[in-house]
Structure 1
Amino acid sequence: MGKEGALSDGVLKKIILSYTYVFIWIFLSFTVIVYNKYILDRKMYNWPFPISLTMIHMGFCSSLAYLLIRVFNLVEPVSMSRELFFTSVVPIGALYSFSLWFSNSAYIYLSVSFIQMLKALMPVAVYSIGVLLKKDNFKSDTMANMVSISIGVAIAAYGEARFDVWGVVLQLGAVAFEATRLVMIQILLTSKGISLNPITSLYYVAPCCLVFLFVPWIFVEFPLLRETSSFHLDYLIFGTNSVCAFALNLAVFLLVGKTSALTMNVAGVVKDWLLIAFSWSVIKDTVTPVNLVGYGVAFLGVAYYNHSKLQALKAKEALKRVAQPDEDKEAGRLLEEREGEGGRRKNESQT
């Protein structure tokens, strides 16, 4: 009875912790999105410099990561050769810089709710790029699912009251760059047995982002900043915004490390609905019935995609459990044979 009670307490504790991690990630992701929208939108804080904002985030995150790794020694650095850095980390940093630049730029032109609807295309982009790069196998049922998600997003776009072509192009570009980055992480790092947590990831990737963003910043935003004298930053606003961005990276690691990437995908759907409701009720963005119908179709497609991944993961774990006893028996048989061989050799040496 006591053991069953202890087991129940352990399971309950694990469930509570999992929901806590989900809540922390949703809260921080929600905060960063709304905060970035507040800073960049011309009708709110009116500081429409997305490259500069991204560079502030990357500068803050890389500095803090350096302190945690090199000064305070709180995180172990990952052993990485110069060749691996330039062939793997640098391309990932380039993709990440463009993804952040484009996604932050979209906040100037589009509503928070519509941006979240467009982000539903992420599974479509990841799967399509994975197939093109031969990381995933083409499956007709999965592609049909991807088409259903795309149709839902297209309906939502058709019903958007504040549709802006340039904003949509920027957000779709951000989705494409982010999806490519995720696939390239699997190809360039994970396949080589290298795993970066958020601190080490920022330590290596954030400086690359700064370098790649510096070139367009010089030509696009630096002249405007100099003309408008917008170099005088509100340290409270941009400081707290940067802290939130850094904390979000830690929350991603906490959520994925303690639960799974699939849990984050499911939590992301909940976060999107919350953002749509917040955008409509607080920011007063217009959310039309056609928007909701379209996103509802896309939502069902994403939900089915997550369900399929969960079933595939369960099937894989079941196969491992079935194969494990056979592997243990085989290992035991080999051990017995070695012991028997060793015994025979010992007897031969004694005679």
Structure 2
Amino acid sequence: FPAVTPRLQRDRSLFWSLICAVCDRPVSPTRKDFFQQSSRMPPTPATKLFHISAGLPHRSGGGERERGGGAMVEAGHGHTQTWTTRRGSNPRLEPDPVIEIPPTPPGEARGNGGAGKYAAAASFLSLFCPTSSAAAAASFSPTVTTALTIAAWYLSNIGVLLLNKYLLSIYGYRYPIFLTMLHMVSCSLYSLAAVHWLGLVPLQHISSRRQLLKIAALSVIFCFSVVCGNTSLRYIPVSFNQAVGATTPFFTAVFAFLLTCRREHPLVYLALLPVVLGIVLASNSEPLFHLFGFLVCVGSTAGRALKSVVQGILLTSEAERLNSMNLLMYMAPIAAAILLPVSLYVEGNVAAATLDKARADPNMVLLLLGNATVAYLVNLTNFLVTKHTSALTLQVLGNAKAAVAAVVSVLIFRNPVTVMGITGFAITIMGVVLYSEAKKRSKS
């Protein structure tokens, strides 16, 4: 390029970076190879006319210009062609210094394929819309992505609890088994779409009949846990449900000892005492205590702990181990097939009752579809939070989620609480935190 103004040179540099990034072409620091290749092409009449009208030198063949000598050396031809520039035609070209174009980094330095394209595009678009460029850069930030994933996990977990409570206890849809079956159907369809069509995770196949039987056994425990949890919401408040659910580590330690004979450090068992003490205090002071609701909630908590222990026992080999999304894709259809006949036997002609309610209230269909979709989002965001953080972070977030869900449910449903109940819940959460810390130290 001839001498240009700093602003024009900056625009050309940014445009060059954009073109190279989109084309994914590494460029040498001086870019002479590009100019030499382009200089070998004969100039067109339009190019000559443009050079003459702009006061720029023009040539009849390719070559490289020498800045100080007023001559152009033809590369590969061995002779010199003189030329004269009409400097008076464009005085802005002479006094401004030449600004070196910064080299474009190679493909490896620009990131994994696409990062350099986004950076170059953002820098070029910042000339016209700096705000949108900053927003685009922020949208690719890992911190922002993790924060949004955690927020979605909180919203989906608390949302499905509140929707289940509303449907089963307030709205009058008293079919928890059929509602759980709808959740399983939703998880089957959405998981199939996420794994097969969207490619969210690599597809893992079931390698043997034995592995299928293990997944079926996990599906039975999964059904029992979810049905008990949804049934408990008919009889007890969400806040008390979460207080009982916080005792999962206690049942996990019990089942791990019974099934695998694994002994934990004494400090781990000592940390479980506040967990049990807190739930005893919360149960004794719960104004809306219901014995059957309490028992099925304990069954749901125990089933959740049993599933985690049995899953660690059955799916231990690398060939049989599945990630959570593939495991859900295989477990959910089996669970739905188990729950459908159980629902028809226990709850009667639930399909006809559901259709009657849908005819009376068209919002019924939207409530069920939304509830089933949020139930899948719980599993999806659980997987994404673990992917972006760690299993330990998920456990800590789960402890905080129980407290947040309890507070939100009290604010929405206005169920009465007592000081002793709040104290017992706080002691339980503190015991869970102590248990997690003691277990981490015992492993280290």
Normalised TM-score (structure 1): 0.79
For residues 15 and 133 of structure 1, what CA distance do their matches in structure 2 show?
40
Which amino acid in structure 2 is aligned with residue 284 of structure 1?
Answer: R
In the alignment, does 2:407 pair up with 1:277?
A: yes
Structure 1 residue aligned with 2:283: 157
CA shift for structure 1 position 46: 1.1
Indicate conservation of the 8 Å contact 1:262/1:310, yes or no. no
5 Å-filtered alignment, 1:110-125, equals: 110-125=236-251
CA shift for structure 1 position 208: 1.2
For residues 239 and 110 of structure 1, what CA distance do their matches in structure 2 show?
24
Secondary structure of 2:152 counterpart: helix
Indicate conservation of the 8 Å contact 2:271/2:438, yes or no. no
In the alignment, does 2:258 pair up with 1:128?
A: no
Stretch deviating more after TM superposition (165-174 or 242-251): 242-251
In the alignment, does 2:61 pair up with 1:61?
A: no
Q: Residue by residue, what CA displacement relative to the aligned partner does 1:38-59 show, whole Å, maximum 9, x if unpaired? A: 1111xx2110111111111111
Distance 1:193 1:16, change over 3 A: farther
Q: Residue by residue, what CA displacement relative to the aligned partner does 1:145-169 show, whole Å, maximum 9, x if unpaired? A: 2122111111110010001000011
Structure 2 residue aligned with 1:264: 394
Indicate conservation of the 8 Å contact 1:55/1:210, yes or no. yes
In the alignment, does 2:368 pair up with 1:238?
A: yes
For residues 191 and 142 of structure 1, what CA distance do their matches in structure 2 show?
27
CA shift for structure 1 position 190: 3.5
Structure 2 residue aligned with 1:347: none
Distance 1:231 1:77, change over 3 A: farther
CA shift for structure 1 position 70: 4.5
CA shift for structure 1 position 81: 2.6
Secondary structure of 2:260 counterpart: coil
Greater C-alpha radius of gyration: 2
In the alignment, which of 378, 382, 385 is matched to residue 252 of structure 1? 382
Distance 1:71 1:120, change over 3 A: closer
Secondary structure of 1:163 counterpart: coil
Structure 2 residue aligned with 1:140: 266
Normalised TM-score (structure 2): 0.63
Structure 1 residue aligned with 2:117: none
In the alignment, does 2:135 pair up with 1:28?
A: no
Structure 1 residue aligned with 2:168: 40
Distance 1:226 1:18, change over 3 A: closer
Q: Residue by residue, what CA displacement relative to the aligned partner does 1:23-49 show, whole Å, maximum 9, x if unpaired? A: 2211111111111111111xx211011
In the alignment, does 2:420 pair up with 1:290?
A: yes
In structure 1, stretches of 5+ residues that fail to align are 1-12, 316-351
- What percent of counterpart residues are identical? 26
Indicate conservation of the 8 Å contact 1:113/1:279, yes or no. yes
Structure 2 residue aligned with 1:168: 294
Structure 2 residue aligned with 1:332: none
Q: Report the aligned-residue RMSD.
A: 2.6
* Number of matched pairs: 303
Distance 1:230 1:143, change over 3 A: farther
In the alignment, which of 307, 323, 326 is matched to residue 181 of structure 1? 307
Stretch deviating more after TM superposition (32-41 or 138-147): 138-147
CA shift for structure 1 position 91: 0.4
Indicate conservation of the 8 Å contact 1:225/1:231, yes or no. no
Stretch deviating more after TM superposition (181-190 or 13-22): 13-22
For residues 146 and 442 of structure 2, what CA distance do their matches in structure 1 show?
21
CA shift for structure 1 position 139: 3.0
